[in-house]
Amino acid sequence: MSVSVSREVARRVFANEFNVATHTFKESEDERAPNYVLFPTGIRANRVFIVGTLTQLDNIGNDSEWWHGRISDPTGIFHIYSGQYQPNSTSVLRKLDPPTYVAVTGKPNVYSREDDGLTVSIRPESVTEVDSLTRARWVAETAIQTLERISSFRENPTQYAEKAKTHYGEDLTIHHDAALLALESLTEPL
């Protein structure tokens, strides 16, 4: 008998919200329990799905490949890091030539740095080069999902929204405005 393990849904999130999401937690004491990041709009995620412009890509490894990429969306910059433990992503990144549009599914990573506190990045599970229409669709769908989360946060908060209120506060104006500006940035009809 085989046991099917389903993967968590990869959440769509803009860079401005992703980069302030520093609260992590597990829902059980099991050492194999997934690590979650709590977003200010009241969702948890152990996987994210982003699409944007890969603006910079550097091999920062000394003894082995360790790629750092900067991916821009209409609200800010995501940082991705890929190395020997992400062989598929590393293989794709090695061949890319910025600037180009990419879709990335990966794990959020929150870590502490001596010089600037907590830093948030993505460890990519997959990286795919995409076209401008795919990027525009992602922006539109992510903006809609962000606005829906904000509405739910205010009108029908979940347990995660309540945790987000405690950790980040209740003012979601910056994320609301960023979602609207992202929608306004779209010049191509979908």
Q: Given this model, what pLDDT does residue 116 score?
A: 66
Count of CB atoms within 10 A of residue 119's CB?
Answer: 14
CA atoms of 48 and 45, how far apart (whole Å): 7
What is the reported pLDDT for 65? 87
Residue 103 has which token pair? 């879709």
Q: Which residues of the chain carry a pLDDT beneath 70?
A: 1-6, 115-116, 188-190
- Please give the pLDDT value at position 188: 53
Specify the length of the chain in residues: 190
The C-alpha atoms of residue 39 and residue 18 are separated, in whole angstroms, by 7
3-class SS of residue 108: strand
**Cα(185)–Cα(52) distance, integer angstroms:** 13
Tell me the whole-structure pTM to 2 decimals.
Answer: 0.90
Kindly compute the dihedral angle of the four CA atoms of residues 68, 112, 167, 40, in this order, to the nearest 10 degrees. Answer: 0
CA 38 – CA 42 distance, rounded (Å): 7
Kindly state the tokens that stand for 16: 């401005």
Q: What is the pLDDT of residue 6?
A: 67
Residue-level pLDDT at 123: 96
pLDDT for the residue 74: 97
Look at residue 144 in the predicted model and tell me its pLDDT.
97
Write the pLDDT tens digit of every residue in 107-159. 999 987 776 678 899 999 999 999 999 999 999 999 999 999 999 999 999 99
